[in-house]
Structure formats: C-alpha cells, structure tokens
Amino acid sequence: MTTRVDTLVLGGGAMGSAAAWELARRGREVTLLERFERGHTTGASHGASRNFNLSYSDPTYVAMLVEALRLWRELEDETDTTLLEQVGLVNHGQGQPFAQVHAALTGVGFDPEMLAVDAARERWPGIRFDTEVLYTPEAGRLNANVSVDALQHAAAGHGARIEHGLPATRLTVLGDDRVLVATDTEQFEAKRVIVTLGAWTGSLLAGLLPLPRLVVTQEQPAHFAVLDTSFTWPGFNHGYRPGTPGYEYWRSPVYGMHTPGEGIKAGWHGVGPVVDPDHRDFASEPEQLLALRRYAREWLPGADPDNFAEISCTYTTTPDSNFVLDRRGPVIVGAGFSGHGFKFTPTVGRILADLTVDVPAPPLFALGR
C-alpha cells in the first residue's frame, strides 16, 4: 500500500518534531515517522536538560538565537508548558572570545555582563572561576524531553500525523516533486521529504546527497549530586588553552548546568568514542569519566564528585561543527548539529519548513560547502 502525503518528515527527535510543528501550523499536510518508540534514549534529543547558551558571535547563529527565544515562548504558550528557564549562563576560561560575543549579543538587544573572578565567586559559590566571567542572563536551561513532547503535541494539534516505531528503510527519488520512502509495513509517496535522522542520516542518504563527513560519537556526561543550594545555578561553559600547566587532563572545554532532581550535569564536548549508533554499549570510557570527576572535584565545589550518575547520548558532528540545512530536489536534510544544536530547535524547524517552498537556508549550512 502506498500512502500519498505532501511532506514527510523522517526522524522524530527535536529537529524533525520542530519541522513538523512549523509545517502543520502553516496548514501543510505533514506526516512524521520515528523509528523508535516515544521517550526512547538512543539518540541525541532525550534527557531533561540542555543549555540555552547565547555565547555566539557569528551573525547567523546570533540571529537564530533571537528567533529561537521567541519561538520557544510561542511553543510554551501553545502547549501550556514550561520549556525554557532563564537561569543565565557563565562563560570563563583562557582564550575565549568574550569581547566579540559581548558585542554581538549587545547588538541584538541582549544584556551580557563582564564580572571579575571575585564577584563571580560571590554570586555563584558552587563554581570555581579561573578568569573573568562573561555572564548572559537571558540564557538558561531547556527541558529536552518535555520540549520534544510539546513539539509533537503541537504538531498533532495542527493536524500532523505522528507515527512512532516506524523506521524508514529506503528512500528513492523519482522526480523533482516525487520521492518514495519505504518502511517495513507501509510505503509513502511525498512531494517533499525532510530527513532529520541524527546519527542515522548518512546510512539513509549515502549516495543521494553530497553530505559532509558526519562523525557519530558516544558522549558521556554525568550528573553530580548538588552540595550547595544557596544560589540559583546558572549553566556554564569553561574553556582552556591546551598545554597549559594544570589542565593536562582536560579532554576539551567543559559545559554544564543544573538539572533539577538529578544534579549538576557536566561533560566534555565532542570527544567521546566514535560509534555505530546501532551497536552502542552506552558505557563510559573509564579514563574520560575519571577526568570528568577530577574536573568536578577541582572546579565545582558545589557538587559531589563521588556521587554521580552517568549519561549517554550521541553527537553527530561535521568537520567545521556547523549544521547541514539544505535541499536537493525533493529531499531536505537537517543534520550535523555537532553537540550545540538543541537551543536552536524551533528556528531549525522553521528553516527546514522554508526549504520545502524554495526559501534557502543561510549559506553557512549549505551542502558541499
């Protein structure tokens, strides 16, 4: 049996769900297919917390942040949920482009603040700072699980069909406005297909689009029990200069935030082992975990390095860490979010929806760049 639809979205994580919401609220007929059951933990969109991090200076990303903040609030209003808590975010560490970020954010109406180490320590005693601090009060924390549910609920409310447990097994382009997608039980014919499969993007689209190299890694942050509740924990980004004495054990810059009910989340960025997403062990690389616990011991005095719970997720990373948002014929792709895409989710959904009607994405995200 062949089901004919206007637009088919493959992948029901954050980005695909956002695209379905945007299309459905424009009055478009849209069907979303997700290979796993609702609430699964095998990809990149699960968990209770992501940083809504404003610390960008590139004008494309800064403009997307402004739009994302507005769209997150629209989604909250539409679904009567709380998704984004603006608890702020602190950036510190050596060699960071604080002046450029400060100028870029100020230029679009945000209110970043520079703080000396002593002032930052007094305000946030659970974090140890090693340089001046760039504080972005409009930044905050997103609930990833609730966000994906809200996007799908809102999309369905506008008429979208949402199907879980229905993986796409083959995609065949038949013409400029005709593409066939096979599943185990049903075949779909669509005018447009949006592929937002995360770690599985390359396996479905190999040979069909000029994708950059997409490296899938298994990232292993952890939640550390909270010791200091005397202040509201902001999110944090902690950079460093490789080779600096005292930082030899660092694997990368560190990010983190408070996840209510779970602890202080902290993790290395994009340095987990390369994996096949269908054959992950979900186990931490022992040396990286030990180094992360050492980081918590040295830099997070408000968290307990000996009381922790491991987390496992995937990154799908491009060579330049910029996203892929583009179209070839009837196929649109959203991929390579490189561990920093979640905050942009509703803006990415809007861009993917625009691509279905020939509105181009920013050149930064082009295929073949």
Write the DSSP assignment of 191-206 as a string of letters: EEEEE--GGGHHHHHT
- pLDDT of 314-357, one tens digit each? 999 999 999 999 999 999 999 999 999 999 999 999 999 999 99
Residue 116 has which token pair?
């000396």
- What distance in Å separates the CA atoms of residue 46 and residue 90, rounded to the nearest whole number? 24
Beta bridge partners of 177: none
- What distance in Å separates the CA atoms of residue 168 and residue 237, rounded to the nearest whole number? 37
pLDDT at 369 over 80: no
- CATH code of 2-46+146-212+320-365, in short, is 3.50.50.60
- pLDDT of 39-69, one tens digit each? 888 889 999 999 999 999 999 999 999 999 9
- What distance in Å separates the CA atoms of residue 223 and residue 267, rounded to the nearest whole number? 9
Instruction: Categorize the per-residue pLDDT at 4 as very low, low, confident or very high, splitting at 50, 70 and 90.
Output: very high
Contact 280, 72 (CB under 8 A): no
The pLDDT, as a whole number, for residue 177 is 96
Sequence ranges of the domains in the chain: 2-46+146-212+320-365, 50-142+216-317
The counts of H helices and E strands in the chain are 8, 21
Beta bridge partners of 314: 218
Q: Do domains 2-46+146-212+320-365 and 50-142+216-317 have the same CATH topology?
A: no
Residue 4 has which token pair?
């004919």
The pLDDT, as a whole number, for residue 39 is 86
pLDDT at 215 over 80: yes
Query: What are the CA-CA distances from residue 273 to residues 46, 225, 300 (Å)?
Result: 19, 25, 25
Beta bridge partners of 195: 10, 333
Reference 137, options 263, 235, 260; nearest CA is 235
The pLDDT, as a whole number, for residue 368 is 87
Contact 49, 85 (CB under 8 A): no
Contact 142, 7 (CB under 8 A): no
Please give the angle made by the CA atoms of 152, 154 and 160, to the nearest 5 degrees.
Answer: 70
- CATH code of 50-142+216-317, in short, is 3.30.9.10
Provide the whole-model pTM: 0.97
